[in-house]
Amino acid sequence: MKSWPAPAVPSVPGSPLPVRIHDTARGDVVELAPGPTARIYCCGITPYDATHMGHAATYVTFDLLGRALRQAGHEVHYTQNITDVDDPLLERAARDGVDWTALATQEIQLFRDDMTALRVLPPDHYVGVVESVEAIADQVAQLVESGAAYPVPVPEAERGLVRDGASDYYLDLAQQPTFGEVSGWTREEMLSVFPERGGDPDRAGKRDPLDPLLWRAERRGEPAWAGGIPGCGRPGWHIECTTIALDTLGMGFDVQGGGTDLVFPHHEMSAVQAVGLTGEREFAQAYLHQAMVGLDGAKMSKSKGNLVLVSRLREQGVDPMAVRLVLLDQHYRHDWDWTEDLLVRAQERLARWREAVAREAAPDATEVVAQVRAALCQDLDTPAALAAVDAWCDAVGTASGAGQRVGDAVDAFLGIRL
Ligand code: 5CA
Ligand code: ZN
């Protein structure tokens, strides 16, 4: 799929720094050790509604990771998927009486426009599920053939909707010793969120309530594709990210991520499926998770509808750089709620920064540029980076000639164009 135009990233003098981030799997801040090319994957949208601040926070966090890796001298290969066929999308299209592919196409374009406005670095591989169905079906077939996956007959109540003898396919977690290594969660913790995060613990015929769905047999009225061994149907959710990541980045890539709502089951299952397919131990070397953005105390989500939309703010004439500054004002590891006050504070800050970089008399940039770089590389500490620029602005007027350099550093490291 087409992604979106890349913003220019100015080059900034100074010594590269290694990048440290919090790895969910190890539960600690770790130094990344990519080769010359860093390979990163962020779970993309399910395109049934517009981009909200939670999505924006997640993709800005991955954008910052990309910027940090670039300043460290790496080339970055970045993959993002699009869940362009799944239950929530089909349900929304049915509710609104629209074609599901038209809904997806429209929301994907809106997302591209929002990401462009926020100056988010685009993925190198922007890959939809629909265009990957064949590759996904091949991997499901491999798991079936090796005995790692098993069929579960379609329930009695749905038999009228399927061809005779149709089965769904599940991964047999009992054969996967690495299961649990990404989240580190107990079985009780896993079971407590599984149903509300797309799981089906009560499905009759499963060997373990937590076994994830790999392939859903065609139901009449639902989209389906020839699947070879698993038969006509469509992919389960987690296997799409396993396949797209393995095909574009390969096993053992550097960072997998998304919002914290994906730690379990999505990232746990994506990883264990990849281990089952390749026999190698590590799907990703580290897992980066953006904490949840909320509104009035509840997680912002398309299903709840408590949304602050990037596109709506754009329509209202809000500068996207101010929206981006609201996101940078919060560290990615802490949950926070969107408020109007935060936006006002960001607008004031943006105006102040713009005025400061345009001044003829500005203090030397070397120290503040180094501080912004260091903050970015120290677990994407954007509040510290913003504080450093604020302090530099306080000193504007006492010395001369550095506005342009600070402007370039703010652009390259934080994606804010002044
Ligand atoms: N398509 C799947 C991932 S394969 C999905 O979760 N789609 S989504 O549209 O629901 O979310 C897109 C991304 O935004 C995911 O990485 C998700 O973890 C993140 N996200 C969703 N809601 C929030 C929120 N309130 N705060 C922070 N991140 C969020
Ligand atoms: Zn995913």
Minimum-distance ligand 1 atom for the alpha carbon of 294: 25
pLDDT at 400 over 60: no
Write the single-letter amino acid at 298.
A
Indicate whether 398 pLDDT > 70: no
**Closest ligand relative to 60 C-alpha:** 1
- CA quadruple 305, 306, 312, 314: dihedral sign: negative
Token digits of residue 16: 């590269």
Supply the residue whose CA is at minimum distance from atom 8 of ligand 1.
45
Q: How confident is the model at residue 363 (pLDDT cuts 50, 70, 90)?
A: confident
Q: In the structure, which protein residues have their CB atom closer than 6 angstroms to any atom of ligand 1?
A: 43-46, 54-55, 57-58, 81, 83, 241, 258-259, 261-262, 290, 292-293, 299-301
Closest-CA residue to 114 (of 267, 313, 376): 313
SS3 (DSSP) at 30: strand
Q: What SS3 class is residue 388? A: helix
Place 404 in a pLDDT band, splitting at 50, 70 and 90. Answer: confident
Ligand 1 nearest atom to the CA of residue 45, by list position:
9
Q: Using 50, 70 and 90 to split pLDDT, how confident is the model at 401?
A: low
Delimiting residues of CATH 3.40.50.620 domain(s) in the chain: 20-290
* Architecture (CATH level 2) of domain 295-414: Up-down Bundle (1.20)
**CA dist 126 to 58, 109, 250, 254, 296, Å?**
16, 13, 15, 18, 33
Distance 378 CA to ligand 2 centre (A): 26
Report how far Cα 8 is from the mean position of its chain's Cα atoms. Answer: 22
The rounded distance, in Å, linking the Cα atoms of 414 and 64 is: 7
> Of the residues 24, 41, 42, 45, which should be mutated to test ligand 1's pocket, given the most ligand atoms within 8 Å of the CB?
45
Query: Which is it for strands 75-82 and 213-217: parallel, antiparallel or unpaired?
Result: unpaired
DSSP state of 72: T
User: Bridge-partner residues for 249, per DSSP?
Assistant: none
- H/E stretch holding 82 reads strand 75-82
Kindly tell me the sign of the dihedral angle through the C-alpha atoms of 132, 282, 179, 199.
Answer: negative
User: What separation in Å is there between the alpha carbon of 291 and the centre of ligand 1?
Assistant: 10
What is the atom index within ligand 1 of the atom nearest the CA of 86?
A: 1
Each residue of 264-310: pLDDT tens digit? Answer: 999 999 999 999 999 999 999 999 999 999 998 899 987 888 899 99
Q: If pLDDT is split at 50, 70 and 90, which confidence band does 243 have?
A: very high
Name the helix (H) or strand (E) containing 22.
strand 20-23
Q: How far apart are CA 341 and CA 1, in angstroms?
A: 37
115-133 burial: b if 16+ Cβ within 10 Å, else e: bbbbbbbbbbbbbbbbebb
pLDDT digits (tens, 9 = 90+) for 139-180: 999 999 999 999 999 998 998 998 888 999 999 999 999 999
pLDDT of residue 305: 82
Q: For all residues of the chain together, what is the average pLDDT?
A: 95
* String of DSSP letters for 254-299: EEEEEEGGGIIIIIHHHHHHHHHHH--S-SEEEEEEEPPEEETTEE
Q: Work out the end-to-end distance of the chain between its first and last CA atoms, rounded to an integer number of angstroms.
A: 31
Confidence of residue 403 (pLDDT cuts 50, 70, 90): low
Where residue 397 falls among pLDDT bands split at 50, 70, 90? Answer: low
- 398 CB burial (10 A radius; 0-12, 13-18, 19+): exposed
Q: Among 1, 43, 307, 309, name the best residue to mutate to test ligand 1's pocket (greatest count of ligand atoms within 8 A of Cβ).
A: 43
Atom of ligand 1 nearest to the CA of 82: 1
DSSP assignment of 100-163: HHHHHHHHHHHHHHHHHHTTPPPPSEEEESGGGHHHHHHHHHHHHHTTSEEEEEPPGGGGGGS-
Which CATH class, in words, describes the domain spanning 20-290?
Answer: alpha beta
What pLDDT, on the 0 to 100 scale, is given for residue 303?
80
Read off the pLDDT of residues 346-355 as tens digits, 9 standing for 90 and up: 999 999 999 9
pLDDT for res 36: 97
- CA distances for 209 relative to 138, 173, 235, angstroms: 25, 10, 19
Answer whether residue 402 shows pLDDT above 70.
Answer: no
Q: What is the mean pLDDT of residues 20-39?
A: 98
Residue closest via CA to ligand 1's atom 17 equals 259
* pLDDT of 409 above 60: yes
Q: Out of 18-27, 217-226, 361-370, pick the least confident.
A: 361-370
Which atom in ligand 1 lies closest to the alpha carbon of residue 58?
28
Alpha-carbon gap, residue 287 to 25, rounded angstroms: 6
